[in-house]
Every structure is written in C-alpha cells, then in structure tokens.
Amino acid sequence: MEPTDLRFHKEHEWVRVDGQEATVGISDFAQDALGDVVFIEAPKVGLTVSADQEIGEVESTKATSTIYTPLSGKVLRVNEELQEHPELVNQDPYGKGWVAVLEMSNPAEVEQLMTAAQYEEFLKTQSS
C-alpha cells in the first residue's frame, strides 16, 4: 500500500505537500524496478522547473532512469544525504530517500496527480 498522504506522477515520482512546499521522491515501485541505487543526480537548488520536466537521474546496478518533477516551482532543498547514501532511496523511498523540495508556483497542479488509490490501480497496468 502506498502512503495515502502522497500524490503520484505517471513516471513514478511521489509528492508530499506541506503548505507551499512539495517534497518529491521516487516511488517504492520505481526503486524496486531499478534495483540497488548507486547514484542520484539531484537538481540544483534555486532551479525553476515546470511540471514533467527532467530534474535529475537515478543510477542503479540495472539502469539509469530520469527523475521528473510532478509539479512546477523552484527547488528549495535537495537531499544532500543521497550523495553519500543513495541506497536510502531503496531503504526508505517515502522517508529518508526523498530527492528534492520545491516551492510550488502552481499548487493546483497537485490535483492533476494520482491519489494513492489511483496509483495502485495504475501500477496494475504496468508490466513488471
């Protein structure tokens, strides 16, 4: 079960909204599909991004995958701990494995994202 306080993007990123800030990370499904994460390229603090824009990469023992931002805004913080401990994405994708925090420029975009229940249904359509 996915955490019900999160919203999900079709590219398997999650968002946790707190006021005007949105924390972004990679879903449990994505980290599981990737396998052991060995490197995260996070976006630069201060970068202004648009929804669905590429903001970084995650490298695993199996593949390199793009990280997309589900929302528009400005990057306020990145998870510096991932530079030395990328495995946190595997161990705690919805907690210590977060990637970036955005200041949302268009909070209405959150409504375009899937709820946890919708994401669970979406995952059933994904080939593993």
pLDDT in tens, 75-114: 999 999 999 999 999 999 999 999 999 999 999 999 999 9
Tokens of 63: 């593949």
Cα–Cα nearest to 100, from 53, 32, 33: 53
Q: What is the mean pLDDT of the chain?
A: 96
Arch. (CATH architecture) of 7-103: Beta Barrel (2.40)
Q: Is the pTM of this model over 0.85?
A: yes
Tokens of 94: 């919805």
Q: How many CA atoms lie within 13 A of 65 on its CB side?
A: 21
CB atoms within 10 A of CB 114: 19
